[in-house]
């Protein structure tokens, strides 16, 4: 049995996803209005998490937006990553977290994020086994992808505001991949 002390913690930040097969890994993230989808295939022993800032569709990504900020891009990357590691779509199960309304005077992008994630999973035929979305405060999330265990901690008002500030920072473009090809 995996203990919290022995767990290898991997933090997922906005615009990232991670797929693992190691039972000692716990994926963590901090969410304000962002949403994290946690998916796993209990038979294949593989699972993962993503963390997206905005609901999205193909039009929003192709219109020049940074694809890593959008749910559609990260949901597809996560599902494809799981399938590449031996998961089967018909066995996938999901847990969805986040989507708080962190700034009262702004539109509720958190609610839109959560609704997008739930609709996307329904459309893909992926069963949602639990969710915790909405509210006024952010949350810290821990997810053990192999067992499916998830734990969340509510953030205080000050912690939520720091999370909101981090969510509003621009995402750095991905670094170029090292290559052995040299151009002159």
Which residue has tokens 């906005």? 14
Cα 72 to chain center, whole Å? 11
Q: Is 38 labeled as catalytic in the residue annotation?
A: no
Q: Which of 12, 20, 34, 96 is catalytic?
A: 34
Residue 114, exposed/middle/buried by CB under 10 A (0-12, 13-18, 19+)? buried
- CA–CA separation, 80 and 22 (whole Å): 18
**Long-range contacts, 128-134 (Cβ 8 Å, 24+):** 128/93, 128/94, 128/95, 128/96, 129/93, 129/94, 129/95, 130/95, 130/96, 131/95, 131/96, 131/97, 132/96, 132/97, 133/35, 133/96, 133/97, 133/98, 133/99, 133/100, 134/99, 134/100, 134/101, 134/110
CA torsion sign, 127 to 123 to 63 to 110?
Answer: negative
Query: Which positions are annotated as active-site residues?
Result: 34
């Amino acid at each position: 049995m995996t203990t919290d002390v022995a767990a290898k913690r991997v933090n997922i930040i906005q615009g990232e996803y991670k797929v693992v097969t190691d039972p000692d890994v716990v994926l963590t993230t901090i969410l304000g209005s962002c949403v994290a989808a946690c998916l796993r295939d209990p038979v294949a022993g593989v699972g993962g998490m993503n963390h997206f800032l905005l609901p999205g569709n193909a039009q929003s990504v192709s219109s020049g937006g940074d694809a890593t900020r959008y749910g559609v891009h990260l949901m597809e990357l996560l599902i494809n990553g799981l399938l590449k590691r031996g998961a089967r779509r018909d066995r996938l199960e999901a847990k969805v977290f986040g989507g708080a309304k962190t700034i009262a005077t702004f539109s509720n992008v958190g609610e839109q994020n959560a609704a997008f994630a739930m609709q996307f999973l329904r459309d893909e035929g992926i069963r949602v086994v639990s969710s915790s979305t909405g509210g006024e405060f952010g949350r810290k999330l821990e997810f053990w992808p192999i067992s499916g265990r998830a734990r969340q901690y509510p953030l205080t008002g000050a912690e939520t505001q720091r999370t909101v500030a981090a969510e509003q920072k621009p995402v750095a473009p991905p670094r170029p991949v090292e290559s052995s090809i040299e151009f002159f």
